[in-house]
Amino acid sequence: MIIQTGMRTDIPAFYADWFANRLREGFVLVRNPYNPLSVTRYELNPSVVDLIGFCTKNPAPMLRRGRMELLSPYGQYWFVTITPYGREIEPNVPPKEEVIDSFLRLSQLVGADSVAWRYDPILLDKTYTPEHHIRDFGEMARALAGSTKTCVISFIDLFRKVKNNYPEATAIPPAEQHRLTAEFVRIAAAYGMTVRPCGESPELAARGADCGGCMTVRIFEQAIGRNLNVPPNPKNRKECACYLTGDIGQYNSCGHLCRYCYANADRDVVRRNMALHDPESPLLIGSIGPDDIIHHAAQESWIDPQLRLTLC
C-alpha cells in the first residue's frame, strides 16, 4: 500500500523526530479528522508499505542524523514546494536558497524520479506579478536542473479556509493561467522538466502541460521501478487524476502558517496543537485517551510480481 504524510501537515519540516520514531517502532496511529474518537493503526513495515509519499516545504530535518537510512527500505516519492514568496505570505518557510540546497541533496539520495518540485500555489498581487513569477520560475528551474524531471503547478484556490486566512487573495483569470502555463512549460522544457498542473483545467494541455495528474499510480511505479496492482480509489475531486491514499498527518498542525493554506483553519489552534505534540507518542498530536477506539487498517503490498509487456 501507499502511505501519505503531507496532505494535512508538513511532517518532514516540523515532526521529523516523531516520524523517525514511528519508523523505528513500526507503526503509527492516526485520528480521524471527522470522528476524533476513531483512530486507525497503520503498520510501517516495507512488507506491506510499498511507498511513502511526502509533501514538504522543508525536507532538511529529514536529511539529518540517519533518518533517511530508516526510510531506505521503502519506496519514496517527495514533493518539495519552492515558491518566490516572502515572509508576508509564508511566515516560517526557510529562504528558497536553503530549500533548493535541501532539494538537491534529497535528489542525490532518492533519485530524480522520486522527487518533484511544486511551484504552487501561484497567486498574483502588486508584488508577485506575472513577470515576477516568470523570472523567478526560470531561476529556480535552472538551479534544480538535473535533480528532478517534474514541476507541479497550481493556481490559488479560494477554499473557505484560504478566504479566512488570506481575505485579499483573488482568483487568477483563465487567460492569465494559460499565459503563465505556456511560459512555465517553455522554461521547464529547457531544463528537462515536464509541467504537471495539479487539479487545474484540462485546457492547460493546449499550452503544453501534462494534465494526466501529478500523483498517479504510473508516477509511483516509476519511482519504485515496480508495477502496482492498486484497489479502486474514490477520493479524488473531479479535477484530480491522482491516486490518493490514507494520510498520517493532522489538520491544524503545520507551523509554516502560510496564508494560502487549506489545511490550517486558525493560527491559535495550530499553536495549541503543536504544543500538544509529543515525539514519543504514536499520534502526531496528543495521546490516546480512554474513549478512543483503535481500528487496524487493512494493509497489503500492492507490488505486482508479474512482468508486463509495454507496447511502444
Give a yes or no: residue 306 inside a domain. no
Give a yes or no: residue 92 inside a domain. yes
pTM: 0.94
Give a yes or no: residue 312 inside a domain. no
Determine the length of the chain: 312
Domain that holds residue 10: 2-296
Give a yes or no: residue 135 inside a domain. yes
Do residues 250 and 273 touch, judged by C-beta distance below 8 A?
Answer: yes
Q: List, in sequence order, every residue forming a beta bridge with 195; answer none if it has no partner.
A: 151
Tell me the C-alpha distance between 107 and 120, whole Å. Answer: 20
- Number of domains comprising the chain: 1
Do residues 105 and 147 touch, judged by C-beta distance below 8 A?
Answer: no
Q: Which of 27-31, 65-69, 145-149 has the lowest mean pLDDT?
A: 65-69
Q: pLDDT tens across 248-296, in order? A: 999 999 999 999 998 998 999 999 999 999 999 999 999 999 999 999 9
Phi, psi (deg, nearest 5) at residue 311: -85, 125
State which amino acid sits at residue 164. N
Query: Could you tell me the end-to-end alpha-carbon distance of the chain, in angstroms, rounded to an integer?
Result: 29
Do residues 206 and 177 touch, judged by C-beta distance below 8 A?
Answer: no
Q: What is the pLDDT of residue 234?
A: 58
Give a yes or no: residue 201 inside a domain. yes
Give a yes or no: residue 210 inside a domain. yes
Rounded to the nearest 10 degrees, the angle between the axes of helix 130-144 and helix 96-110 is: 40
Give a yes or no: residue 172 inside a domain. yes
Sequence-separated (6 or more) residues with CB below 8 Å from residue 214: 79, 116, 150, 152, 196, 197, 198, 242
Tell me the C-alpha distance between 159 and 150, whole Å. Answer: 26
Three-state secondary structure call for residue 110: helix
Give a yes or no: residue 156 inside a domain. yes
